[in-house]
Structure 1
Amino acid sequence: MKIRLIVSAFVLTAFVQGCKTPKVEVVKQAKTQYDTTIAFGSCNKQNIENKLWVEVVKHKPDLWIWGGDNVYADTDNMKKLEADYNKLLANEDYKRLRETTKITGTWDDHDYGLNDGGVEFEAKKGSQQLFLDFLKVPKDSERRYRKGVYSSQIVKALNGSVKVIVLDTRYFRTALTDDKKNKNRYEPGVYGEGTILGEKQWQWLEAELNGSDADFNIIVSSIQVLSAEHGFEKWSNFPHEVDKLKSLIKKSNAKGVMVLSGDRHISEFSKTKIEGVSFPLVDFTSSGLTHVYNGFTSESNKYRVLEVVPELSFGVLKFNFEAKTVLMEMRGVGNILQQKLLQTY
């Protein structure tokens, strides 16, 4: 009897278990720490080996942003400029990046065509079309008929988005003020006189920020926005334009605004507080991709955090939408981590 009871209990248990819905083990895909990755860089001489493309590709960025001086042409000869772009496009390592990553960006003076050039450059219309050809912008795009190369796009992830607002600091920029007192190249002009962006681009930028519901907003400027004490090109050569940008960021209530810049042949982080804005404004400068300021010793920048990196470098931004953080990295040859800044928004 005892044996029968044990057997019956076993059979009953087996029967009951057999009637249950089978338990299916759900293996969730491990969530990565970052939702979106964007890489950027500037100052790329097409006749010099670029050792960084292979490293950029390793990060599998969702977007690559050109920060300007994408080729060094310095010419009003459009055939030469086109040949310089074609040489870069033929680079096998850059081809691999183009095959796997969306690409956008702006120009600076050397690919614009005139060193430190602005509104006065007579070949700018032709140069603009070649720049858009380089970025593979469709022939029927509105960008083909608008003066200047400014543009915007949104990088979407499952749980958030990043808006990339690319500025043109060349096409409309008025004359710089030569520094006749010191050894610097330029000095700030009279407050309220001159412009970097021009009226129409300012109106466009205001609309882009005011209408943004993105979790983060990147403003791409070929020249530095915050660093103000050196004598080269910078936003503070037009100090009222810096104030106007800060005011616009505040009034727009756009989330997570940051600046990416190039030009300087050094890389650094600059950061400041805008009154009435809950997060600091970071200007992440990454320069250059093929050559750097080898003779760099020191340079004042009251907004700098961490150190200047005068080495071949590109920038990587890793976004975490849930934590509202951006990990900003400077990466060099061999993918070495040169410096990083974790910013919470």
Structure 2
Amino acid sequence: MPIAIHAKQGLTRRQLLVRSAATVALAGMGGLARPYLSRAADRPQITSGIASGDVSADSAVIWARADRPARMQVECSIVESFKTIIRAASSQALPDRDFTSKLLLDGLPPGQDVFYRVRFEDIADAGILGEAQVGHFRTAPVERQSVSFVWSGDTAGQGWGIDPGRGGMRTYATMLENRPDFFIHCGDHIYADCPIEAELKLPDGGVWRNIITEEKSVVAQTLAQFRGNYKYNLLDANLRAFNAQVPMLAQWDDHEVTNDWSPAGTADETGYAEDGSSRLVARATRAFHEFMPIRELPTQAARIYRKVSYGPLLDVFLLDMRSYRDSTWNKGDDRNDSCILGAVQLAWLKRELAASDATWKVIAADMPIGLFSEDGIALGDGPPERRECEIADLLSHMKRVGIRNAVWLTADMHYTAAHRYDPNRAVYQDFEPFWEFVSGPLHAGTWAPAPLDNTFGPAVMFQKGCSAEQGENLAPCFGLQFFGRVDIDGQSEIMTVTLKDVDNRDLWSVDIEPRPDARPTRRLSQHF
């Protein structure tokens, strides 16, 4: 099914990307420009590209990492030449954050393509400046305009790292070709528990040859090793190019820490703090927030669940299904209380969904609802039990309050699928039908599709993964790497969801018409 791509003001997105790429190393710094006072090796450099995230109508987070103590200087403009600077700001990059730096640019114009450039200044000598890199993002509109975004998850998993001879992490290059307004990463940005080896044998007799680093050659336990996982991924040119041009909305899942972790239920060989909390989780959390362009809330700097508004047509609700879950396995014979969102996050989600004035409410989840997993939500066929009870409570609340046009997006399963949940097929029936779309991996092993349970009545409308003959953990070079694309038309408000592969093929697509709002009153809500 063809997808309508909305028009942009001024330059087309393709022209914008081509011209911006050509200026990355050449752009001057306008008001920040200073003569170079030393050899290139003596100037602070950007080590891992630049990135933006959590873009709203008037603000965005900018991220970069230096090679030494430095001050990050950022300027932005709505013209590629940077003839007019609309905002400038700076922040420090210090050793205690591994020389990463991020800042919030605010006061930006809505619905605009914004160019930003980043340079590091030596923190001890204000006259020594490194080379600039140029990036781009588009602020959210305040009027009804078409919106396009992509989503996926799962990067550098199961031992499949960066093989330059096979094009590196190609899915990021393919997503960039789609010229989205933003990208939702549903989790597993890294696989801290999956070391990268130099070579892996392929089932066709070939050899996968990884770039290797010391920190990525072991299971991460130290803060340096967790940081090293993010730095490893950023060695890939495709990922760096994508980050520079497409803002990210980041959430996490388990492999940012270790497989199937929970706050208190995961054994931590590195020890526990005095309050009983895991030092492993604390280190992983710190590294995640250092390397993600995520907005830090004043009272909860480490909080991941949040709402990002992208104009009148779309609110995105990013969940955290790790930090507040119970510490037990999700087994049917365990009658203890169980949760995956936790009471505070669930109450927030209900409140913000009810307050949302957007046509579409996208719920970005770490994992699917109806795929059976002892680490996930579904327990198998039957009425809601344990973690399913939170989902049943949420779905019933949405029906009762009249919240419509909610669509669930997720990754985690290492294949792509479209699920339609319907109370007429379900054991639990107190909810309205909804869609759930699964996509991934971005660059990791591919799995076969998993069975669904009937608690909430899901049906498979499409699915694609590896076959039984191919086996589990199929390498990225066999083409079964996936992402999803969402287009919301500014006139009709129809949402088109397309499941795509690494070669940019449209595998399956559906148009979803918005339903009239059922709420008697609509309340404004705050971002984040």
Decide whether aligned partners of structure 1 residues 189 and 245 sit closer, same or farther in structure 2, where only a CA change above 3 A counts.
farther
Decide whether aligned partners of structure 1 residues 324 and 31 sit closer, same or farther in structure 2, where only a CA change above 3 A counts.
closer
State the match for 2:294 in structure 1. Answer: 137
Q: Among 206, 213, 224, which residue is 2:357 paired with?
A: 213
Higher-RCO chain (CA-CA 8 Å, sequence separation at least 6): 1
Structure 1 residue 71 corresponds to structure 2 residue 190? yes
Alignment partner of 2:362: what SS? Answer: strand
Give, in whole Å, the separation in 2 of the partners of 1:105 and 1:188.
32
Structure 1 residue 234 corresponds to structure 2 residue 376? yes
Q: Among 165, 170, 184, which residue is 1:51 paired with?
A: 170
* Structure 2: gaps (5+ residues): 9-144, 163-167, 194-219, 267-277, 380-386, 424-428, 466-479, 515-528
Alignment partner of 1:241: what SS? Answer: helix
State the match for 1:60 in structure 2. Answer: 179
Instruction: Give CA-to-partner distance per residue, 1:91-133, whole Å, 9 cap, x none.
Output: 221122222221112111111x121111215133332232122
State the match for 2:253 in structure 1. Answer: 108
Aligned length: 298
Structure 1 residue 341 corresponds to structure 2 residue 504? no
State the match for 1:153 in structure 2. Answer: 308
Alignment partner of 1:248: what SS? Answer: helix
Give, in whole Å, the separation in 2 of the partners of 1:300 and 1:145.
36
State the match for 2:340 in structure 1. Answer: 196
Contact 2:420/2:461, CA 8 A, preserved across alignment? no
Contact 2:407/2:435, CA 8 A, preserved across alignment? yes
Decide whether aligned partners of structure 1 residues 62 and 297 sit closer, same or farther in structure 2, where only a CA change above 3 A counts.
closer
* Structure 1: gaps (5+ residues): 1-29, 178-185
For residue 165 of structure 1, report the CA deviation from its aligned partner: 0.6
Q: Among 149, 174, 179, which residue is 1:38 paired with?
A: 149
Q: Among 444, 448, 461, which residue is 1:291 paired with?
A: 444
State the match for 1:166 in structure 2. Answer: 318
Percent identical: 18
Give, in whole Å, the separation in 2 of the partners of 1:144 and 1:134.
20
Decide whether aligned partners of structure 1 residues 321 and 93 sit closer, same or farther in structure 2, where only a CA change above 3 A counts.
same
Alignment partner of 2:503: what SS? Answer: helix
Q: Among 209, 217, 230, which residue is 1:85 paired with?
A: 230
Structure 1 residue 118 corresponds to structure 2 residue 229? no
Q: Among 398, 401, 417, which residue is 1:249 paired with?
A: 398
Decide whether aligned partners of structure 1 residues 163 and 143 sit closer, same or farther in structure 2, where only a CA change above 3 A counts.
farther
Instruction: Give CA-to-partner distance per residue, 1:155-198, whole Å, 9 cap, x none.
Output: 12xxx331111000001111343xxxxxxxx6446578211011
For residue 146 of structure 1, report the CA deviation from its aligned partner: 4.8
Contact 2:146/2:491, CA 8 A, preserved across alignment? no
For residue 305 of structure 1, report the CA deviation from its aligned partner: 3.1
Higher-helix-fraction structure? 1
Q: Among 306, 320, 330, which residue is 2:499 paired with?
A: 330
Contact 1:325/1:344, CA 8 A, preserved across alignment? yes
Contact 2:398/2:404, CA 8 A, preserved across alignment? no
Partner AA of 1:217 in structure 2: K
